[in-house]
Structure 1
């Protein structure tokens, strides 16, 4: 890996002639970066494929190659990549070519393509490799999915259960078995004498069974996963899903608890579940009503109360009660985000700092509410409001002076922080690592501020990429002992074009 060449390959200001030279030097890693350049021309894309054949797949996904550029015999992976694109850039004859490919992995990739010709779909549905049929089942149209639900392999049925295009009646049948023949095979009983449970630490290097996969004749591990896939599928009918409310599997009950279509009786049953994880998933579910919310608010488990804090309709009196006892991180809670202007004002005037901190995370506050929170005596509230747009330089400076290192990083993250304030924060004694990281990526950061950021190990690679860094400094960083810094400097758009050309030429000579 050459970090300087990699940085140059990503540099948006790289001259076209330098791009050509890098193509001539490219290895697989460098080609992967070059393939993502938005200014890469068709001729350059073709040249890159000639240099590094594997780059063709990325180029196809990036839209740099078209069907006219591809010979599916010479570049089979590229033709397949084109066929995989949602814009359906491949050709029908390619699908027929790959349907007969001896490589099962290619047939499986083909099976995931949209809009395949009907004859290709039929051929893939009858493929002898169960992985190919399962991949087709994941993406199949409703009629094909319904037909594959009766496939003799349980793995195919699991894929049908995950397909959101599968008809509701078919999904219900996969859960209750009504109207479907019993599955005859799974990958476990096909290979092992049952009963068998696969060792999660299996020492066999050629074994591809999933950890814990098991079969006692009922294909139980795949059957379990089929139920899980169905529960996570929004197309599964509610009446079929509630079948799992009493299931011994924790994973299945948790998946059920997260479904937004649960009837009240099932919600009440899951609210009494002995496992906190089930109750926590239910607590965040929009399906529960106010009465159940208030019941769960008394739950002793912190994960349940945290889940409830994320409920989009949690009553504000419940949320304010939870605020003092429940850690919710720095995320803006849904109920706070949807609060009315009147509610927002009341929250901002709460006597409890934990509540004021919640509303301070909004970034669309009225100026009066924003300014009141900016003057809050509590550092946690100020830390939450500091990145809010519209705050003046005087307000931001006052925050920093009143609360010091506790709020400096958030002040530095404010998009309206003026250059002179960023310089002051960068030179703060003692230095604040998080603040330097924010300054290093701030669009208003100046050269003096960035030079201070270069003194910090974590902020240094970020600052090295900032276009406000003086060109001589950028050039000096190209030889930095930290490869991340050297790569960032090479990717800096303010690196002089002539230096870029010289760097590429030097590497060419050295190579």
Structure 2
């Protein structure tokens, strides 16, 4: 791979004549970058597709090619891409439905708005993977028919389709009203009874660990039930029968469902498996009594998942924030907090509460400024990257809290060029600061030079348009290919250098 040319292919400042020259020498790697260009003309797209056949699919998905540009017999993958985007000719589907390449028929089966005759052909395909792909997006009528397919894998796909009629989903879940499946992927390949060992020594084997079949296709049936339980179209009265099922995976899928009787949720709240209770904890359908009960549950991930429940009371959420690592994220309940609740949180004596509300980007100016001077570094770290803060406020944060907040300050979109330079000279240095500065729109050439000293920030800095042109040219010979490619893609690379790098026609 020529990393200089690959970088140039993505350079936004590359003039049309140089794009033409690159197209004339393009290989698959170079074509991938060229096909992504926003300024690629239709004529250039056609020329690129002619030069590198593999690029036609990418160009079709990007909207650079039309149906008139594609011959389905010569460019079947590009034709499939246009069909997938709803821009292909319906006649192509008839041709591709009998394509000898399995992957193409499978791809076609996933395309929208196929003619009914084509769906019938795909539904009768000899390879179950094609039929299963069709089932995932089948119409209600076709899904109901495919639910009775003799292959268990097709039924599993029908169970994932939200257009499948509820009565059919209930039958797939319980097995009632459907003839038993005759085969599955496992018994087609292995002599039953068979259990796939977790550390399978066969490199070509693609069966999942633990996959099993004793003639009843039990692991595929189990996967079908799990899929149906996660399908919101499955009737609740069929789903809640699984509250006491021996499989924790099925109980977990049930625990995440809305619309179940409160008694079912209460039973799942005392499930012996923490993962089931964790799925339940994040379910917005559970009531306040269960939320408060689960707040004291020390099972793995239960409290953290509860914090993501949009209906968790604020007092419970504050308590959870003090005992659980939630990360720097705006939680649903905080995002929905009323103005009065925001003010209450910002004035709370509990720093965990102030830290939570500091993640909002729409804070009133007074509250934002008060949090910017908070005595707790974690609160300041949460507010430091919010827009609207002045340079004086940002410098004061660094002066007060130092390395604990410096990277977040560097990520502030309003950080000034002078402040960014100052942050890259901070002692002791904070490595993440260099990465934030290297991608910052206000970074100066001097700040970026400092960022080049950090291995992770170096490629980012190499692609920043504020980097001095002579430095960009020097980086074209860097030992790190990522730096070379980023420098070649830098729009501040001198035009004369670009022209010298592109082969002459």
TM-score (ref. length: structure 1): 0.96
Distance in 2 of aligned mates of 1:127 and 1:109: 13
Q: Which residue of 2 aligns with 1:8?
A: 8
Q: Offset at 1:210? A: 3.3
- Alpha-carbon deviations, 1:197-250, whole Å to 9, x = none? 123433344444333321111101110110111122111111122122112222
Q: Offset at 1:103? A: 2.1
Q: Which residue of 2 aligns with 1:26?
A: 26
Give the 5 Å matches for 1:15-164.
15-85=15-85, 88-164=86-162
Distance in 2 of aligned mates of 1:262 and 1:416: 48
Q: Offset at 1:302? A: 5.1
Count of equivalent residues: 505
Structure 1 contact 263–287 (Cα < 8 Å) conserved:
no
Q: Which residue of 1 aligns with 2:184?
A: 186
Q: Which residue of 1 aligns with 2:479?
A: 481
Secondary structure, in 3 states, of the residue corresponding to 2:250?
helix
- Alpha-carbon deviations, 1:439-490, whole Å to 9, x = none? 1111111111111111211111111111111111111111111111111111
Q: Which residue of 1 aligns with 2:165?
A: 167
Distance in 2 of aligned mates of 1:231 and 1:92: 35
Quote the RMSD (CA, aligned, Å).
Answer: 1.4
Distance in 1 of aligned mates of 2:384 and 2:256: 34
Distance in 2 of aligned mates of 1:428 and 1:15: 40
Match of 1:331 among 308, 329, 332: 329
Give the 5 Å matches for 1:81-480.
81-85=81-85, 88-301=86-299, 303-480=301-478
- 5+ long unaligned stretches in structure 2: none
Distance in 1 of aligned mates of 2:203 and 2:363: 58
Structure 1 contact 146–166 (Cα < 8 Å) conserved:
yes
User: Residues 302, 353 of structure 1: CA spacing in aligned structure 2 closer, same or farther, 3 A cutoff?
Assistant: farther
- 5+ long unaligned stretches in structure 1: none
Distance in 1 of aligned mates of 2:47 and 2:163: 41
TM-score (ref. length: structure 2): 0.97
- Alpha-carbon deviations, 1:395-454, whole Å to 9, x = none? 111001011111100111111111111111111122221111111111111111111111
Structure 2 contact 173–229 (Cα < 8 Å) conserved:
no
Secondary structure, in 3 states, of the residue corresponding to 1:295?
helix
Structure 2 contact 243–268 (Cα < 8 Å) conserved:
yes
Distance in 1 of aligned mates of 2:360 and 2:300: 24
Secondary structure, in 3 states, of the residue corresponding to 1:185?
coil
Structure 2 contact 275–300 (Cα < 8 Å) conserved:
no
Secondary structure, in 3 states, of the residue corresponding to 2:187?
helix
- Alpha-carbon deviations, 1:368-398, whole Å to 9, x = none? 1111111111111111111111111111110
Distance in 2 of aligned mates of 1:203 and 1:73: 40
Distance in 1 of aligned mates of 2:396 and 2:455: 28
Secondary structure, in 3 states, of the residue corresponding to 1:199?
coil
Secondary structure, in 3 states, of the residue corresponding to 1:49?
helix
Distance in 1 of aligned mates of 2:100 and 2:388: 62
Distance in 1 of aligned mates of 2:117 and 2:275: 47
